[in-house]
């Protein structure tokens, strides 16, 4: 990369992104996202927190097996058992990194860890040394660095670098910092830590004040050479710095930044759609880079200007981030090969002929109802195939809904519940309400409906609707998705998907709420 520094992109969609309530992903979903990140040339993929649960362990292991073009990272608290578990999960990786952390802010050390600062340094050093027994690529994070004392941070960083940390990551865990202040912190740390030249300085910013991207960019201008980020800015609470915004800001303003990432930015839209389809977290229309309006010029003056010369109102080209004008890619007569090829171009490889056949059968059904099939339809279809599993407790057999002016809508639902076909009829305020009531009569999940949202996948009245249903049971929150040209059927599918997720018991530790 000429005489410019390399900016390492560390994606944590599969770990911090997954910590958004309801955004949990299955192992196969994680593998699909990881493959898309690899195609985009993301340098490091944080695939999960292996000690958190057996599911997390297996997901990290599966990503480590499936991806060889990016370094695969596993998170571990500064505890031997966490680090060994991460090392074990990462064994199949062509290139593995262990990311270990312990909190360093006065409030976290006193209230959460109940440890003295000296003990924290000791434990951090021990953790890094332990991680080095598994891999020579070790990252250390002083959690809540954004509220830690600078002198103490310098001491911790010097000690962990001496112990073998190759990347030191400075997290603004609670999103408290302002850009000028955070940039200054990074500059000071690099200047004052005596062995700072032996490690890459990284940043990890949360978006509680909407400043995650601004803080990350300010850090880069002050010497950070790794940014941790997530697709669509997904993440704990208000999220993490959004990968697409960081990467495009640096790429677009090469007159300001002394570095660049090696990312293939034309893959950004594919990744964005994949993540929102899998998690059910819709992208707001005016979101920078990936929102549907990001490159749309509504006002006459803007349209006129853009037609005369694109640069009048556009600072980036839509196609450089993977926006293609809605393209009719396939139709009723398209064959299996064309279907497989287009999906491969969009980042999906089928694991088996059976999977391909299942998705192709769905494609044919859809093409019967909808004459023009767009890329977005194909992606929704693949997401849908992944939503159903043979082991599902509940499956939709049939649904009939009736509504008429002046009459109460009615839904007749047939479900397959735990091996038995069951039928219920319910009325409701609308067709969707009636359908959801009928599902509840049959499954009695005891859940609360937290969110119901519908978006159209493409334009036109024959477009598929994509529905997200968020259900809550005690402390657990899950998102279910469904897509169909019939919005009531899409809604029922989404509700059933959420029920199937919530009935699966899952014991899962949270990295930032654990014992140490």
Residues that bind Zn ion (CB under 5 A): 16
481 binds, among ligand KIV, Zn ion, none (CB under 5 to 8 A by kind): none
List 70, 141, 230, 491, residue binding ligand KIV (CB under 6 A): 141
- Minimum distance from CB of 128 to ligand KIV (Å)? 14
Cβ distance 343 to 373 under 8 Å? Answer: no
Nearer to ligand KIV, 228 or 484 (CB): 228
- Minimum distance from CB of 173 to ligand KIV (Å)? 3
- DSSP-based three-state secondary structure for 360: helix
- Residue appearing with tokens 């010369």: 309
Nearer to ligand KIV, 97 or 204 (CB): 204
CA dist 493 and 488 (Å) reads: 9
Nearer to Zn ion, 16 or 466 (CB): 16
Sign for the pseudo-dihedral over CA of 46, 50, 54, 58: positive
Q: At what angle do helices 117-132 and 80-89 cross, to 10 degrees?
A: 30
CA dist 158 and 145 (Å) reads: 14
Mask 149-188, x = binds ligand KIV (CB under 6 A)?
Answer: ----------------------x-x---------------
- Minimum distance from CB of 234 to Zn ion (Å)? 11
List 108, 155, 204, 273, residue binding ligand KIV (CB under 6 A): 204
Six-digit token string for 387: 């939503």
Compute the C-alpha angle 431/435/439, nearest 5°: 170
- Minimum distance from CB of 169 to ligand KIV (Å)? 6
Q: Please tell me whether residue 385 binds ligand KIV under the rule CB under 6 A.
A: no
Provide φ and ψ at 413, rounded to 5°. -120, 135
Around Cβ 179, how many Cβ atoms within 10 Å? 18
Q: Please tell me whether residue 392 binds ligand KIV under the rule CB under 6 A.
A: no
Strand partners, 228: 10, 204
384 binds, among ligand KIV, Zn ion, none (CB under 5 to 8 A by kind): none
Nearer to ligand KIV, 101 or 436 (CB): 101
User: How many chain residues are in contact with ligand KIV, going by CB under 6 A?
Assistant: 9
141 binds, among ligand KIV, Zn ion, none (CB under 5 to 8 A by kind): ligand KIV
Nearer to Zn ion, 16 or 82 (CB): 16
CA dist 241 and 238 (Å) reads: 10
| SS3 of the chain: helix, strand, coil, percent, to 5 | 45, 20, 35
- Minimum distance from CB of 140 to ligand KIV (Å)? 10
**Residue with the closest Cβ to Zn ion?**
16
Strand partners, 72: 45, 96
Integer angstrom CA distances of residue 396 from 240, 273, 418, 422, 494? 36, 26, 12, 10, 11
- Minimum distance from CB of 171 to ligand KIV (Å)? 3
Q: Please tell me whether residue 46 binds ligand KIV under the rule CB under 6 A.
A: no
Please count the CA atoms within 13 angstroms of the CA of 5 that sit on its side-chain side: 17
Nearer to Zn ion, 16 or 158 (CB): 16
- CB under 8 Å to 513, separation ≥6 — which residues? none
CA dist 169 and 201 (Å) reads: 6
Q: Please tell me whether residue 242 binds ligand KIV under the rule CB under 6 A.
A: no
- Minimum distance from CB of 143 to ligand KIV (Å)? 4
Q: Please tell me whether residue 101 binds ligand KIV under the rule CB under 6 A.
A: yes
CA dist 132 and 87 (Å) reads: 10
- Minimum distance from CB of 401 to ligand KIV (Å)? 44
143 binds, among Zn ion, ligand KIV, none (CB under 5 to 8 A by kind): ligand KIV
Cβ distance 340 to 355 under 8 Å? Answer: no
Q: Please tell me whether residue 511 binds ligand KIV under the rule CB under 6 A.
A: yes
- Give contact residues for ligand KIV (rule: CB under 6 A): 16, 101, 141, 143, 171, 173, 204, 206, 511
């Amino acid at each position: 990369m000429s005489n410019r520094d390399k900016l390492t992109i560390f994606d944590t969609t599969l770990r911090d992104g997954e910590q958004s309530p309801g955004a949990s992903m299955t192992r196969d979903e994680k593998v699909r996202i990881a493959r898309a990140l690899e195609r985009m040339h993301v340098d490091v993929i944080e695939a999960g927190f292996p000690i958190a649960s057996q599911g997390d362990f297996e997901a990290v292991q599966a990503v480590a097996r499936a991806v060889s073009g990016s370094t695969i990272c596993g998170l571990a608290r500064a505890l031997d058992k966490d680090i060994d578990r991460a090392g074990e999960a990462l064994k199949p990786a062509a290139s593995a990194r262990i990311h270990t952390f312990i909190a360093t802010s006065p409030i976290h050390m006193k209230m959460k860890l109940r440890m003295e600062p000296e003990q924290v340094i000791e434990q951090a050093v021990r953790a890094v040394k332990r991680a080095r027994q598994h891999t020579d690529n070790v990252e250390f994070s002083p959690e809540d660095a954004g509220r830690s004392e600078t002198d103490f941070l310098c001491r911790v960083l010097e000690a962990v670098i001496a112990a073998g940390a190759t990347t030191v990551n400075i997290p603004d865990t609670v999103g408290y910092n302002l850009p000028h202040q955070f940039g200054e912190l990074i500059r000071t740390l690099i200047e004052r830590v005596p062995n700072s030249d032996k490690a890459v300085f990284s940043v990890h910013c949360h978006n509680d004040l909407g400043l995650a991207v601004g803080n990350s960019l300010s850090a880069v201008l002050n010497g950070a050479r790794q940014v941790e980020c997530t697709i669509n800015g997904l993440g704990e609470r208000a999220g993490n710095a959004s990968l697409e915004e960081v990467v495009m800001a640096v790429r677009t303003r090469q007159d300001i930044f002394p570095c660049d990432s090696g990312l293939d930015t034309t893959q950004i839209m594919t990744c964005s759609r994949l993540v929102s389809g899998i998690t059910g977290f819709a992208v707001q229309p005016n979101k920078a880079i990936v929102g549907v309006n990001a490159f749309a010029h509504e006002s006459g003056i803007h349209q006129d200007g853009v037609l005369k010369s694109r640069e009048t109102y556009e600072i980036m080209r839509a196609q450089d981030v993977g926006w293609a004008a809605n393209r009719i890619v396939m139709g009723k007569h398209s064959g299996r090969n064309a279907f497989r090829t287009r999906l491969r171009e969009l980042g999906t490889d089928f694991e088996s002929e059976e999977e391909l056949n299942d998705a192709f059968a769905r494609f044919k059904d859809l093409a019967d109802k909808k004459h023009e099939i767009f890329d977005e339809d194909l992606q929704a279809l693949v997401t849908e195939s992944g939503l159903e599993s043979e082991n599902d407790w509940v499956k939709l057999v049939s649904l009939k809904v009736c509504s008429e002016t002046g009459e109460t809508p009615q839904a007749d639902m047939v479900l397959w519940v735990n091996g038995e076909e069951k039928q219920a009829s319910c009325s409701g305020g609308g067709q969707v309400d009636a359908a959801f009531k009928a599902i509840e009569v049959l499954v009695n999940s005891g859940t609360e409906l937290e969110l119901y949202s519908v978006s159209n996948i493409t334009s036109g009245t024959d477009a598929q609707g994509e529905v997200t249903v968020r259900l809550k049971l005690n402390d657990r929150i899950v998102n279910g998705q469904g897509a169909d040209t019939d919005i009531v059927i899409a809604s029922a599918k989404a509700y059933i998907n959420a029920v199937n997720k919530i009935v699966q018991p899952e014991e899962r530790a949270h990295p930032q709420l654990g014992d140490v």
